[in-house]
Each structure stands twice: as C-alpha cells, then as structure tokens.
Amino acid sequence: MSGGFVTLFYKELLRFWKVAFQTVAAPVLTAMLYLLIFSHVLEARVQVYGSLRYTAFLVPGLVMMSILQNAFSNSSSSLIQSKVTGNIIFVLLPPISYREFYAAYVLAAMVRGVIVGAGVLLVTAFFTPLQFAHPLWIFAFALIAGGVMGSLGVVAGIWADKFDQLAAFQNFLIMPLTFLSGVFYSIHSLPSFWQGVSHFNPVFYMIDGFRYGFFGVSDVAPWQSFAVAFVSLLVLAALTLNFLRRGYKLRG
C-alpha cells in the first residue's frame, strides 16, 4: 500500500476519534439503554435456546447491531460530508488508486465498528455473565460485518448528493435490515412465513453467526451464516470498486 493509502486511512481514523464522545460513547450508551429496557420488560417472559437468559441472548445482538450501524455511518457520513463541502477533490487529486481509496474508507469503518462493539460488550458485561464458546467465530463475523456495512456506506455516500438522501438510505434500508434480523428475538419465535422471509436478510446471518460464537447454538449452521456474509461482502466490494473505478458521481 502507498503512502497515500496510509494518509487517507489515518485521516479517516482521526475523523471519528476526534469526536469519540459522539461517534463511540453515544452508540455505547444507546445500546446500554436498549439492554436495560428490553431486558427489564422481557427477561421473565422470553426464553431462548433452552435455559439461556434473555439478557445474555440480547447482548451479542446489540454488539453486532452497533458494529453494523457504526461501520455504515463512518464511511457514508465521511463521503457525503466531503461531497457537500466540496473537499472531496482533495481526496481524488492525489495519486491514490481506487482500490486504496476503497480500502482506506472500509478499514476505517471496520475499526470504528469494532471499537464501538467492544465498548458495548464491556458495558453490557456488567449486567450478565458472558460466554465465549467460539472466539474465532466472534472475531470473523465482527470483521466481515464491518466490511459489509463499510462497503455499503461507501455505496451510499457515492450515491447520495445530500444528507436527506443518505438519511433515507439509512432509514429505509439499514434500520429495517438490522432491527428485523434477530437482534431482539430468535426467528424460531416467528410464524413460519416470517421465518422464511428472515432467511433473505443477510444481516440475520451475521447476527446469528456472531451469536453462535458466544453460545455455541444458533438458528442456522454457522458455516451457512459465514458463507452468506462472505458472499455479501464480495458482492458489495465488487460493486463499490466498480463505482470507484468509473468515478461514478465523484468525478464530473
């Protein structure tokens, strides 16, 4: 990788770290509030995976949701801000290849996602004892999920011309995909029709595989979840790289 990639990657890291209270602490607080509210209301009423406490079941879902949403937010908000303010030209002019451009934005998004996810995990650990049945699965799904949403964030940032378009992308695609993916429930609690619908949501496989890393049980086989998540990453990476190679909506 060239010095241009290192500089751009460092710039993207500094961008969110300089305002860590907003980009890291605030999402951790939001996840903690979800945990407090849902566990208080549903702890005695919902049973999943046999004797597993609902609060424990909820934690990996909240961690993965935080990784997904913050990875998307990092790359998409950076690009749309650069486009709206006009300083995207200073990123496009240096001799940085489109592959390095993609790698810098997505890797920075993954770093933010993982940092926020780790923060959520640390905070929620005070509320319930955690298991780590398969740590490698946890790590693998965290990285792939961050890469998927980081790539999708680049796509959204390229496509959107103003902030309300990006907000629509997030409200009508990202939020439904994450909230309807088994964060707060096992899909086996749904009617059969909605169980079938859930299997068309790639985010469901990321959360289910991630949860398998903690408890060793899941709604679908972990290798199936890994395959769906990995293919999703490859498809989005190919799409994003194609946009960047053509300069779609970035160059006049």
Q: DSSP readout, 130-169?
A: ---S-HHHHHHHHHHHHHHHHHHHHHHHHH-SSHHHHHHH
pLDDT band at 189 (very low <50, low <70, confident <90, very high): confident
Instruction: Check: pTM over 0.75? Answer yes or no.
Output: yes
Give me the pLDDT at residue 47, please: 67
Phi and psi for 48 in degrees, rounded to 5? -130, 150
What value does the mean pLDDT take over residues 3-20? 93
Instruction: Report domain extents, the chain.
Output: 3-246
Q: How large a percentage of the chain has pLDDT more than 90?
A: 64
Cα separation, 15 vs 70, in Å, equals 13
Helix runs in the chain, H state only = 3-17, 20, 26-42, 54-85, 89-92, 98-124, 135-159, 163-169, 175-179, 192-198, 202-215, 222-246
pLDDT band at 165 (very low <50, low <70, confident <90, very high): very high
- C-alpha torsion angle, residues 237, 238, 239, 240 (rounded to 10): 50
